[in-house]
A = this chain, B = another copy of it.
Amino acid sequence: MSSQPPHPPRPKSAEATKQAILAAARKRFLEESYESVGLRDISRDVGVDVALVSRYFGSKEGLFRDVVRGTRKKDILPPDLPAEEIAGYLAKLFLAEGDDANENVERLLIILRSASSPAASQVVSEALRNDVLIPFAQSIGGKSPEVRASTSMAVWMGMTIMRTVMAVKPVCERSPEIEARLRALFETALSETNR
């Protein structure tokens, strides 16, 4: 889509092409599972030989690890968000256009896509725990935060599957009704009462 015709001559900077490979790999892993993405696909996207990938990242698993970690920056929630607005914020974030997509949102999709690939499962579940669940649990506070954080992420993942992976039409629209439903789900997931 981006560069089927011969590639523009790339400046010979190791760091630059490494980043280019990383970006191409991220785009691929965002759309397919770990094993269905070939190193040759990625290198072709960048316009570079396959060998470079193994050279710069050691192995396919190493590349995937770097992709998943990404720039390991900010938390999921803005630091000053009051507790009762978390659900609404998550619902809005979930439906935000891909253009200004949060990096954590993409990370979650990558994690989801390769979750059942044995070679990637360790990387993936560690990243989910360390980079998502634990920080998120810390920022929500309250009673049994791990359970509530995990449950919220379950809702997130499940809705992502239905929309992005399976393309189930009824929940694919970006309507106020869907947003309200999402918010309600997150509220339930975050609720501190056991009912």
CB distance from A48 to the nearest CB of B (A): 23
A150 touches B168 (CB 8 A): yes
Does chain B have a CB within 8 A of A101? no
Does chain B have a CB within 8 A of A125? yes
Smallest CB-CB separation from A137: which chain B residue?
A: B170
Q: Which residues of the other chain, B, contact A13 by a CB distance below 8 angstroms?
A: none
Among A35, A154, A168, A170, the one with the most B-chain Cβ atoms within 10 Å of its Cβ is: A154
Q: Which residues of the other chain, B, contact A155 by a CB distance below 8 angstroms?
A: 154-155, 158, 185
Does chain B have a CB within 8 A of A46? no
Interface string of A158-183 (1 = CB under 8 A from B): 11011001111111000001101101
B177 touches A147 (CB 8 A): yes
Q: Which of B118, B119, B166, B171 contacts A151 (CB 8 A)?
A: B171
Does chain B have a CB within 8 A of A153? yes
A113-B116, A185-B189, A188-B184 given as contacts; is B33 within 8 A of A168 (CB)? no
- 8 cross-chain CB contacts under 8 A: A33-B35, A33-B116, A33-B117, A112-B161, A116-B116, A129-B168, A147-B178, A188-B188
Listed in ascending order, the chain A residues whose CB lies under 8 Å from chain B are 32-33, 35-36, 112-119, 121, 124-125, 128-129, 133, 144, 146-147, 149-151, 153-159, 161-162, 165-171, 177-178, 180-181, 183-185, 187-189, 191, 194-195
